[in-house]
Structure 1
């Protein structure tokens, strides 16, 4: 199944999300300890650049090709860091590896979204999101077992060579192939997936004529190639892109403000980290249930506000009330888990197929920018920073009211689907029955 393979890919990706630093190999202590922060900043910059770069290329050349190349890039650059002759070469290789990680995260998530039916989308993305938490927990255990940073780097890098080979077996997004004027290739991928799922009869019933009839609007729109500029030329897309960019920027900045404050909670940071991992998994697993009863927008608004209040409460409570402060910190972490999962689903439903990866990369860039600026605020304004981290989610929750509700709607393939979403929902469901349900996704 494509879904299980995608989950395996992302779990391995999560293992490499946290960089291992050779603190003593280049004597990053005393007057050189600032180089460690510089190296971490370079790594985050690689994620930021990769989020923009690979998303645009994936809309131009396809999701599968970018996924395979990103896997190879991560495997080669991360392995090469073991043999880096100096710290600056190491940082350059980590920058390239980080950009590859961003490409894998973007394309894997988008392939999964575009191969999943509307009814199962929330559950599938929630399961996938849990792989990040499991990967982080697994990395801690692996780092404890493998003390040497070079051996650890090798252990988390080598699997990507295998993933590179496996990725060629994955099918390309049929939606992307059809929208970009390649219906014959899209039909081949649909037949491949039908055979994988044991529905060989679908290869006979699903013909090029049926496909062209069901997707005639998408095929007609293929001449309108998407670009980053189009996100700002079309008023509807510009509004959605700006709101999502600001929302992700505030969300990630506040998230890092919370997780980087563990040492100030006065408890065992390792135990607290375990609590964070458990509550994160529980939150992500709960998200599909919440989405089935509530809309995307109301969940984002309410949990953004709750996360902000939790951070403010944690900041304003006296230091001697450590237990209560830990409760608010864990509550805030759970809110972030729900928000991250919901955003992963919601942002893919706001854009047409031809622009989905480009828009996703732009939104991801907002989050990556927040991850870079968040720690800088704590360094420059240590007293004001906790208040900023708490106010930002509350403020960003207000602008989310200007976004539409997408619960129950199929993924939009054209601008016409966005402009007439209610009337196009029935047609979209009919198309999805022909294309997706015949392959049992």
Structure 2
């Protein structure tokens, strides 16, 4: 916790910190749009079965010359429950009598139908080509779309695990980490560099090895024992934090990614939606920062994640015809998903001790990556009910918000540097509760 004293001497929020945040923002702007590409590369256009009298140029006859495309479609493709052409079946033989029945069946027997044995015809008015049209991932094969997304996200998860050491190579250069790993000279050098960037030219007169060693004495003593992965679960308070943070990350990332990569299933204009998200996301995140700083980490997360869940569940009850309302709800859902993810990251970083923070974030990140990878598989449940995946995403987000309440509040609290700091916070919290109970009991 004493590192904050050193940070104040080099400028706690100066040019150096602003440059860091700027570079991180630029990298995020480059990377995050890739998570939304599935709404375009895997978009599902309107489609119907290929039928000879409509789609085969070599088929011609006197009977077809005076018929419109709509008439030929009517006699070739049955209607679904919404009186729209079926997407996955066609008549075995053209039903010419349907042209004289005003859209109703008068015969007792239903005409024979069959699957799309000759392939599909896709509407290319919006998307000329997607992986759906290239590989015919519709009807009986529609679940393969979700499996493809699952494999893609699983690859990202495995890549993050395998190449996480490359990221640690950059993280390890922070002055806090260098000092906590007993590399005082390098840590001091980094602090002086930060001070110079922040315009504090006389920092070398104030910052010395002796000053660093004195201020960080307790933390350095606690860090002499080398930390490992198992230390995350060795002590009760840290173990509780890791488990709860992993669970929050799992359910929130599952819901967030489930919404973001499946916008096309909401049957709205995904191009307009992406524009609206780009316009609103930045001011919404600024509002999220305000809430986190004024309401605290726990209450603000509960509020934001609950709004995210409400947005998802509300879409289920809005008819397809009310496109504007569906667009508004989808936009708010996307915005709240970004704010939920960022607020969860802030809270997790503030709950984990510096000495083992990179390892802890890796474990929690694996939990989040697992949830993200599993999220597309829930779309397979659309074969039973179109609303079922969205209900799961919405309910799980509410669950994540409630789990956050089990974690400590970190607003205006110093960052823990060692595992012992985390355990001491737990003891102090329990003692405070015991004292409150004692006062309530002995007051009268």
In which range does the TM-score fall when normalised by the shorter chain?
Answer: 0.5 to 0.7
Once residues 255 and 26 of structure 1 are traced to their aligned partners in structure 2, the CA distance between those partners, rounded to angstroms, is 23
Once residues 146 and 367 of structure 2 are traced to their aligned partners in structure 1, the CA distance between those partners, rounded to angstroms, is 21
What secondary structure, in the 3-state scheme, does the structure 1 residue paired with 2:291 have? helix
C-alpha contact (below 8 Å) 1:187/1:208 kept by paired residues: yes
2:372 equivalent in structure 1: 371
1:317-336 superposed matches below 5 A: 317-336=318-337
1:44 Cα deviation (Å)?
A: 2.2
C-alpha contact (below 8 Å) 1:52/1:358 kept by paired residues: no
Aligned counterpart for 1:393 among listed residues 390, 397, 402: 397
C-alpha contact (below 8 Å) 2:268/2:326 kept by paired residues: no
Once residues 284 and 358 of structure 1 are traced to their aligned partners in structure 2, the CA distance between those partners, rounded to angstroms, is 27
2:23 equivalent in structure 1: 8
The Cα offsets for residues 106-161 of structure 1, whole Å up to 9 and x where unpaired, read as: x4xxx8xxxxxxxxxxxxxxxxxxxxxxxxxxxxxxxxxxxxxxxxxxxxxxxxxx
Aligned counterpart for 2:412 among listed residues 408, 413, 419: 408
Q: 1:175 to 1:415 in 2, by over 3 A?
A: same
1:214 equivalent in structure 2: 215
Once residues 315 and 303 of structure 1 are traced to their aligned partners in structure 2, the CA distance between those partners, rounded to angstroms, is 20
Once residues 401 and 147 of structure 2 are traced to their aligned partners in structure 1, the CA distance between those partners, rounded to angstroms, is 32
1:198 equivalent in structure 2: 199
2:256 equivalent in structure 1: 255
Once residues 298 and 51 of structure 1 are traced to their aligned partners in structure 2, the CA distance between those partners, rounded to angstroms, is 31
Q: 1:26 to 1:50 in 2, by over 3 A?
A: closer
1:63-78 superposed matches below 5 A: 63=168, 66-67=169-170
1:96-115 superposed matches below 5 A: 107=171
Aligned counterpart for 2:134 among listed residues 15, 24, 29: 29
Question: CA-atom RMSD, angstroms?
Answer: 3.2
Once residues 290 and 352 of structure 2 are traced to their aligned partners in structure 1, the CA distance between those partners, rounded to angstroms, is 24
1:301 Cα deviation (Å)?
A: 1.3
Once residues 178 and 345 of structure 1 are traced to their aligned partners in structure 2, the CA distance between those partners, rounded to angstroms, is 23
Q: 1:16 to 1:404 in 2, by over 3 A?
A: closer
1:132-281 superposed matches below 5 A: 172-281=173-282
1:45 equivalent in structure 2: 154
1:40 Cα deviation (Å)?
A: 4.9
The Cα offsets for residues 151-187 of structure 1, whole Å up to 9 and x where unpaired, read as: xxxxxxxxxxxxxxxxxxxxx2111111111112111
The answer to which structure has the higher helix fraction is 1
1:258 Cα deviation (Å)?
A: 2.0
1:262 Cα deviation (Å)?
A: 2.5
What secondary structure, in the 3-state scheme, does the structure 2 residue paired with 1:229 have? helix
Q: TM-score, normalised by structure 2?
A: 0.64
2:293 equivalent in structure 1: 292
Moved more, 201-210 or 322-331: 322-331
Moved more, 295-304 or 217-226: 217-226
C-alpha contact (below 8 Å) 2:235/2:423 kept by paired residues: no
The Cα offsets for residues 419-440 of structure 1, whole Å up to 9 and x where unpaired, read as: 3349999xxxxxxxxxxxxxxx
What secondary structure, in the 3-state scheme, does the structure 2 residue paired with 1:241 have? helix
By relative contact order (CA 8 Å, sep 6+), the higher-ranking structure is 1
C-alpha contact (below 8 Å) 2:132/2:145 kept by paired residues: no
Once residues 340 and 388 of structure 1 are traced to their aligned partners in structure 2, the CA distance between those partners, rounded to angstroms, is 18
C-alpha contact (below 8 Å) 1:176/1:354 kept by paired residues: yes
Q: 1:49 to 1:289 in 2, by over 3 A?
A: same
Number of residue pairs matched by the alignment = 317
1:267 Cα deviation (Å)?
A: 3.3
C-alpha contact (below 8 Å) 2:379/2:389 kept by paired residues: yes
1:343 Cα deviation (Å)?
A: 1.4
The Cα offsets for residues 255-312 of structure 1, whole Å up to 9 and x where unpaired, read as: 1222234234443210111112222212111122112211101111122222112211
C-alpha contact (below 8 Å) 2:16/2:198 kept by paired residues: no
Q: 1:36 to 1:16 in 2, by over 3 A?
A: farther
